[in-house]
Amino acid sequence: MNSKGILTSGPGSGQDAVELAISKSIPKLRFLADLYDPDELTVQMRRYERIEAGFFKRFPERSAESPLFFSTPGRTELCGNHTDHNGGMVLAAAVNLDMVAAALPRPDSLVRIHSEGFGSFELDLCKLFPRPEEKASSQALVRGMAEGLSKLPGKESTPPERISSGEGSDKGSMAVRGFDACIDSRVPPGSGLSSSAAFEVLIGSIFAVFAGIEVSPARLAVIGREAENRHFGKPSGLMDQTACALGSLALIDFADPRQAVINLLSFDPGEFGYNLAIVGTGDSHADLTEDYASIPGEMKAVAALLGKQRLCGISRSQLLSRAAEIRASCGDRAFLRAWHFTGETLRPLALAKALESKDIGAYLKVVRASGDSSYKYLQNIYPSSATFMDTKRSVADRGSGEVSEKSAGFGGAAKQDTGQSLAIALALTEDFLGETGACRIHGGGFAGTIQAYIPAHRKEEYQALMERHFGIHSLYWIKIRRYGAVCIEHPLRSSR
């Protein structure tokens, strides 16, 4: 790895170099074959045809035009659980489940979007400031992306491998324009694969291409985070948007609060005989804002006691030297969460080094350590908020064994009485794997999904086990996607 955001397969390793450079603008592709694996090309071609047909059905007055297509992937966090918001390091990857839009620009400031996953709506961009009535809505994210892009200076000066915090970006002005779009998402909501970040980056890509704004995917990620914080009203870090925007496997260091440093890696678990699975356990992320907010809050409380704004740069020896004071002032859980951070922030780099040497055994050992730390120290397996504990199956549901639509989550599994589905999924997976593979909590935690590395020859057996306990379609097999946000120029033109 080097500081310029380009990674070969390993410095001095003697292996064939695989150079992954960070793009300075939204990549434009000509063919679906550049984006999807050969075995899914036919399915994707039909999907794009359906999206285009849906676009013309929704906007029949534009049937004589050829829309552009945009694709943004979901993301999976491989390591660095809850470290980004305190200046830590993460390892995150784009996945082959994506969000696709067919879109055409408009001559005015109106945005019209038809989407099964995010609803159909329109909004006028004549005013870009946050609107209270749009909080926690797709409209808020669209307006936020438009505002962020409109504040960009005429030309970016931040190198693409460094994500600036955006301070001072309100100088100058870029004009955004409205568009019509039809969106199809294969990033399941509630799966921990960051459907909201994928949506933000997708919308930003459309705005940028149609307005002729040369913006790097890294900058789009920052704008997405700001849209989510400022317009949508959700405090979040920068990892999700960065992984969705850049693609590949990204080692991201958030130590400098002004700009994160990115290095891209190449990794395919299949080359080592493993398949990567995401398992939805059925519990909902609804009403868990308190639980999520408690993690960065408690970590920063410990940092403040030690004279810092964030835990970045604080060692375990420093925590030990002030342990009694931290426990008395911040609480035992805050101490344990800080303890998690000081170990977890070192693991992404350890994983990168294991990949450089192609040591899958060392890699999986670090993954297990990450999961163990999240379980014991970060404590984001069980939700603690009372609101979550109240949202469980009705007595009638429990008595009949049937899963109501209200009680079902990602994958259709029933919400459990005590909110411990994640722990059950981890227990079953650890027992299944024995001394092979690895599993860990996936994403923010408290509800939702786990991540597992499953030996390829046991793939069907594991899927049957998970679906038996958590329902059909509770498991997704994912691959790491090379590209992040892209524009695909008329891939269906020859078929029309």
The enclosing domain of 236 has a CATH number of 3.30.230.10
Residues 378 and 362 in one domain: yes
Assigned token pair, 160: 């693409």
Residue 323 falls inside a structural domain: no
Alpha-carbon distance 163 to 444, whole Å? 22
Lookup result for tokens 């991540």? 451
Burial class (CB in 10 A: 0-12, 13-18, 19+), 489: middle
Alpha-carbon distance 245 to 232, whole Å? 19
pLDDT at 351: 97
Residues 377 and 258 in one domain: no
Q: Where are the beta strands (DSSP E) in 359-442?
A: 438-442
Answer for the pair 97, 479: CB distance below 8 angstroms, yes or no: no
Domain of residue 151 covers 28-268+481-495
- Write down the pTM of the prediction: 0.83
pLDDT at 202: 97
Q: Which of 191, 221, 194, 228 is nearest to 205 (CA)?
A: 221
Task: Determine phi and psi for 5, rounding to 5 degrees.
Answer: 80, 20
**Considering all CA atoms of the chain, what is the largest pairwise distance in Å, rounded to the nearest integer?**
71
Residue 170 falls inside a structural domain: yes
Alpha-carbon distance 445 to 380, whole Å? 5
Alpha-carbon distance 177 to 111, whole Å? 8
H-state helical runs in 345-456 = 347-356, 360-373, 386-390, 395-400, 421-433
Residue 20 falls inside a structural domain: no
pLDDT in tens, the chain (496 residues): 333 343 222 323 333 323 355 678 899 998 999 999 999 999 999 999 999 999 999 999 999 999 999 999 999 999 999 999 999 999 999 999 999 999 999 999 999 999 876 679 999 999 999 999 999 899 999 999 999 999 987 644 444 444 444 443 334 456 899 999 999 999 887 777 888 999 999 999 999 999 999 999 989 999 999 999 999 988 777 889 999 999 999 999 999 877 889 999 999 999 999 999 999 988 665 567 677 788 999 999 999 999 999 999 999 999 999 999 999 999 999 999 999 999 999 999 999 999 999 999 999 999 999 999 999 999 988 877 544 444 443 323 433 333 333 333 455 444 444 578 999 999 999 999 999 999 999 877 777 899 999 999 999 999 999 999 999 999 999 999 999 999 998 776 544 4
Residues 248 and 277 in one domain: no
Q: In the sheet that 438-442 helps form, which strands lie side by side, from edge to edge?
A: 438-442, 449-455, 274-280, 475-478
Residue 369 falls inside a structural domain: yes
Instruction: Output the CA torsion 201→214→22→444 (10° steps).
Output: -20
Cα four-point dihedral sign 254, 255, 261, 264: negative
